[in-house]
Amino acid sequence: MLKIILPTIMLVPTTLLCQKNHLLTTTTTFSFTIALMSTQLMKPTLGTTMTFSNYYLGTDTISTPLLVLSCWLTPLMILASQNHLTTEPAPRKRTFISTIVFLQISLILAFSATELTTFYIAFETTLIPTLIIITRWGNQVQRLSAGIYFLFYTLIGSLPLLIALLLLQSNNTLSLPLLQLNHQLVQNSWTHTMWWFALLTAFMIKMPLYGLHLWLPKAHVEAPIAGSMVLAGVLLKLGGYGIIRMSSILTPPSQDLSYPFMTLALWGIIMTSLICLRQTDLKSLIAYSSVSHMGLVISATLIQTPWALTGATTLMIAHGLTSSMLFCLSNTNYERTNSRILFITRNLQLLLPLMTLWWLLASLTNMALPPTINLTGELSAITSLFNWSKTTILITGLGTVITATYTLHMFSSTQWGGESSPNIKSIPPTHTREHLIMVLHLLPTALLMMKPQLILSMF
């Protein structure tokens, strides 16, 4: 574990002291080396026990895929931001890359913490670099209001989590291995329900749950490409990881508490999918589709069966790669046309024919077409929901159909759709760097198709 954390920490002085001409090349190469080193954490272990590197850090089959995903996306974020940083002076480039590295360090600590206090601190620390990325390097004027939305939603949600953890510490320990051995908790059922409500609030806002999701589209639309990638790819998954981690080591929440959350999550799948159908902003459409996919993850994590948890984890990893790729594709359009409006940025197939292939593959994975890993996750989650209640098949089935509809609408709107706007008749061609980003998003997805046991063997 330390061989991942220490090189990542050393990336900060490397970024600050590196020569100006070699800054982006050096940081990308080093962060990609760290990402390749992190993949060996996924080697199969016996059972579901934790692998400890020291008393405070350890990984198991739940946290390892998410940790590797956060390491993998860091070099891709630096690659995707190169065009965004060309006009910036060298000190600002160093600050931007250092902020991304600091975010990666806090994510690694969050996913590898074996003590809930450390997890809470790392969980909250991710807020600071994300807020800096959105408010300082965002494209539009509204980035400050988006940052305020993001800050207050997350802070208000995390206060009940802090109180719940302090209460748990007064009754027990906060060490994850010891909590797995001792499931005793508050005996009073009403107190237990309120305690779980406080515990789940922060994770539900982070996911986000439908009704608590208003910060997400705003943050996505205003954030630069690196902010959008890390928000969709990893930060939303902190909520799912928290729910899975807490409910697997503590007494599960009562039905009185699970049902309202479950209802909101399932209803959110339909509502946000319908919102996607009438979106004119491309980034906003992808952001709302994330809310829809996370609704399925939330409902699966609350069922607490091994099959449901496997489906939720698989879907989180698949969605992290797919949504990050979709944001990269929308960014390539935005950099050339300076617009995210679907009506203006259409018929791009004639101008960027190879990019249409990446749009097609990203759209197919977003629709969970066989044999993608997205389908494995969705099938596991939907089957476990059907076993829990037969009527959920109506909601999940309708959600799948609408997802396919808005994904095809997004693909056809950007690639075809009649006459192109006059302002995009002479846009620059695609670069090798952009094609490399798309390949590095699809490569893990293809490898996981061939060996899904890497993320399916945890339960």
Domain coordinates of the chain in residue numbers? 2-16+24-38+60-456
* pLDDT at position 412 over 80: yes
pLDDT at 338: 84
What pLDDT is attached to residue 47? 55
Report the percent of the chain where pLDDT is more than 70. Answer: 95
Question: Given this model, what pLDDT does residue 159 score?
Answer: 92
pLDDT at 337 over 90: no
Q: Under a CB-based contact definition with an 8 Å cutoff, are residues 308 and 386 in contact?
A: no
pTM of full prediction above 0.75: yes
Q: Confidence band (pLDDT; 50, 70, 90) for 422?
A: low
Which band of pLDDT confidence, cut at 50, 70 and 90, is reported for residue 459? low
* Position 339 confidence tier, pLDDT thresholds 50, 70, 90: confident
Would you state the pLDDT for residue 406? 96
Question: How confident is the model over 246-257, as a mean pLDDT?
Answer: 81
Query: What's the confidence (pLDDT) of residue 420?
Result: 63
pLDDT digits (tens, 9 = 90+) for 56-109: 888 888 899 999 999 999 999 999 999 988 888 999 999 999 999 999 999 999
Reported confidence tier of residue 111, pLDDT bands at 50, 70, 90 = very high
Residue 351 pLDDT greater than 90, yes or no: no
Q: pLDDT grade, residue 45 (50/70/90)?
A: low
| pLDDT tens per residue, range 353-400 | 899 999 999 999 999 999 899 999 999 999 999 999 999 999 999 999
Structure confidence by residue, pLDDT tens digits, 428-440: 888 999 999 999 9
For 154-211, write each residue's pLDDT tens digit: 999 899 999 999 988 887 788 888 887 776 555 567 888 888 899 899 999 999 999 9
